[in-house]
Structure 1
Amino acid sequence: MTPITEVAGRRLSLSNLDKVLHPATGTTKGELLHYYATVGPAILPHLRDRPVSFLRYPDGPDGQLFFTKNPPPGTPAWVTTAPVPRSDAPRARQPVIQDLPSLMWAANLVVEFHTPQWRDGAPGLADRLVLDLDPGPPATVVECCRVALHLRERLAADGLTAYAKTSGAKGLHLLVPLVPAPSPEVSAYARELAVTAEAELPRLVLHRMTKALRPGKVFVDHSQNAAAKTTATPYTLRARPLPAVSAPVTWDEVEETAERGTPDRLVLLLGDMADRLDRYGELLAPLFDPEVAGALPASGTGRSS
């Protein structure tokens, strides 16, 4: 029998609660659902008003993985959807996770959450810049932290403030709150940052994902600023052997990892997050503060050039 529960007045069917999704830790679907219920106040502001794409992994990370943007069959009528401009589907709509019942409905599908840098109603007008730092082995998140510290200074020189989170995989993401700007302009600026970082740190940074050059370097992926692209939402679980979270981290943690060369320091799992939220609060809360948002330089990389 499928359990029925009520979340904020909505009735939900929750299935296969004892199913093991992450064999490395024995993490069950029930524990996954409990995680999202616990971090709901932190993740929901990052999902709200942003069309969401799902990477589904209903049989765990070793099973079938499939990426979906359309509302899946059986989506409840009370789950918000929004029109999304797509060349392949002019009338496409995507789910928008606005509240705890919608979050728990989506979590029951076993998904990663991926969101764009713009909000519903303003497609292509970005209020965040993202840089995805992806290490090429034998480089690890340690090298990503060193690149992140460099980029933080470059952004600060342009009046922009960066916040860091783990990717939940191998790397690190930098998020920058912006006065809303057209995605092409944000993309161009992000690319310049990556190109400049490669010029300044040629043994460590790449701005293009050239496979032959990847070993030992950090690819600064600026492409996720394009309006059609998405990034793993803060606090989402990832389809990895361990139940890893794309988790906010402090700059002290980034500096410590860079200095000590300890990549395990930034492997943050489902079970770590409640204590981290108690200890640090919501480290990405400034992303929602209009007074923290910065404007792109008038042209190019402005003061940092």
Structure 2
Amino acid sequence: MNYEAIHLMRKQEIHKQTTSEHLNQWHDELMKRVVHLAIEKVEAEQGRIPAPFAFFVMGSAGRREQSIWSDQDHGIVFDGKKEHKRYFLRLGKEIVTGLELTGYQRCDGKVMASESMWTQTLASWSEQVIGWLEQASWQSLRHFSTFFDSRVLIGQKNLLAKVKVTTFCYLENHRQLYNRFIDNFDFIRKGTNIFGKLLTEQSGPMSGRVPIKTTTILPYVNAMRLLALHHQESRASTLQRMQELKTKYTFLQEYEAIYHQLMEFRFVHTKAAENYDAVHYIPLHQLSKDDKKELKQFMKSGSELFQLAKEAIETECSKW
């Protein structure tokens, strides 16, 4: 099977997926096919892979929250010599090419395994994440947040786990950083006006559409990332983070159900999106009265969850 055959499979099967969960399982299997094919091609050219490695996905793929369309956010960590980096960058470039040919848009911010920042040795990765935390700028914490929402798709899971353990050890001794995380995440784009009406984009190609990603989904994602960091929970999925931490925070039981409903709501209302940009928006005209009411409640609940997470961390940090 080649990339063209995988792309054809994507076109034929992607709209057959019936739930958000099924769609993300399907994305995983498709991406794994691409990565295995890329490995075969590079090994045929360059020889066998020279060191243990892990190819990991980040962002919506890392959290298992991809839509019909998705871009690429991924990296490679390998346990080998620095001179092996050239090999893994070549592999990263082949993976990027393969994913693009099969329908996954390149990341505009170049968060991809073809880039030096996102393909490194185990030691260099640990140094880099600590460097991001030490700098603690808006940009460096953005890089760190992107990395933290990661999971291994192909390769040795323990390599990525070791980098995250390094992160947790550092945060244990620099707990003031949680306030920086809160500042970094503490912005929720308004989804309704003072009259309670849904706000849409006013100009451009997304005019008349509700930006569901920034107004509705990100508050849940950011809230659970904060709690996961605080409690050294390495899983990337927002729902898995809720499941793992709901014994500690009983309020998460309610929001776990809400977030699952939100993912299905987005799945239903973005299935017809024509491209990657459009998948983050819902045309207002396609929403019924009940849909609009439900979406507003999702927005309200997301804001409430972020506030609860923020207050919980601030209260616990004040006891240190």
Task: Flag the structure with higher strand content.
Answer: 1
TM class by smaller structure: under 0.3
User: TM-score with structure 2 length normalisation?
Assistant: 0.27
Output the TM-score relative to the length of structure 1.
Answer: 0.28
Q: Greater share of helix residues, 1 or 2?
A: 2
